[in-house]
Amino acid sequence: MKYDLILIRYGELTTKGKNRKKFITFLRENISVKLKKFSHLKYESTRDRMYIFLNGENQTDVMNALEEVFGIHKFDLAVRTVTDLQSMKEHVLEAAKEALKNGKKTFKISVHRAYKEFPLDTFALQQQLGAHVLIQLDGALQVDVKNPNVNIKVEVRPDFTYVMCQQRNGLGGYPVGVGGKSLLLLSGGIDSPVAAYLMMKRGVNVECIHFHSPPFTSERAKEKVIDLVKILTKYNRQMKLHLVPFTEIQKAIHKEIPANYTMTIMRRMMLRIATEFARKRKALVLSTGESLGQVASQTVDSMYVINEVTDLPVLRPVIAMDKLEIIDLSIKIGTYETSIRPYEDCCTIFLPDHPTTRPKREKCAWFESKFDFKPLLHQAVQGIETLTFKQNESTNVNGLDNLL
Write out the residues near ligand ATP by the rule CB under 6 A: 185-187, 189-192, 210-211, 288-290, 294-295, 297-298, 345-347
Question: CA–CA separation, 264 vs 295, rounded Å?
Answer: 12
| 70 phi, psi to nearest 5 deg | -75, 150
β-bridge partners, 209: 185, 242
Give min distance, CB of 348 to ligand ATP, in A.
7
HEC string of 178-244 equals CCCEEEEECCCCCHHHHHHHHHHHECCEEEEEEEECCCCCCHHHHHHHHHHHHHHHHHCCEEEEEEE
141-170 residues near Mg ion, rule: CB under 5 A: none
176-235 residues near Mg ion, rule: CB under 5 A: 187, 189
370: Cβ–Cβ under 8 A, 6 or more apart, which residues? Answer: 256
β-bridge partners, 390: 238
Give which of ligand ATP, Mg ion, none residue 290 binds (C-beta under 5 to 8 Å, depending on kind). Answer: ligand ATP
Give min distance, CB of 347 to Mg ion, in A.
6
Question: CA–CA separation, 63 vs 167, rounded Å?
Answer: 10
Q: Which is nearer to ligand ATP, 132 or 212 (CB)?
A: 212
For the CA atoms of 396, 202, 27, 62, the dihedral, rounded to the nearest 10 degrees, stands at 60
Give min distance, CB of 399 to ligand ATP, in A.
22
Number of residues that bind Mg ion (CB under 5 A): 2
Closest residue (Cβ) to ligand ATP? 189
Give min distance, CB of 397 to ligand ATP, in A.
18
Give which of ligand ATP, Mg ion, none residue 264 binds (C-beta under 5 to 8 Å, depending on kind). Answer: none
Give min distance, CB of 294 to ligand ATP, in A.
5
Q: Minimal CA–CA distance to 165: which of 47, 7, 40?
A: 7
Give min distance, CB of 328 to Mg ion, in A.
18
Closest residue (Cβ) to Mg ion? 189
Q: Which is nearer to ligand ATP, 109 or 278 (CB)?
A: 278
Are 286 and 185 in contact, with CB atoms under 8 Å apart?
A: yes
Are 322 and 203 in contact, with CB atoms under 8 Å apart?
A: no
Q: Which is nearer to Mg ion, 189 or 355 (CB)?
A: 189
Give min distance, CB of 156 to ligand ATP, in A.
50
Q: Is 266 exposed, middle or buried (0-12, 13-18, 19+ CB in 10 A)?
A: buried
Q: Is 158 exposed, middle or buried (0-12, 13-18, 19+ CB in 10 A)?
A: exposed
Q: Which is nearer to Mg ion, 189 or 317 (CB)?
A: 189
Q: Which is nearer to ligand ATP, 1 or 295 (CB)?
A: 295
Give which of Mg ion, ligand ATP, none residue 171 binds (C-beta under 5 to 8 Å, depending on kind). Answer: none
Which residues would be at the binding site for Mg ion (CB under 5 A)? 187, 189
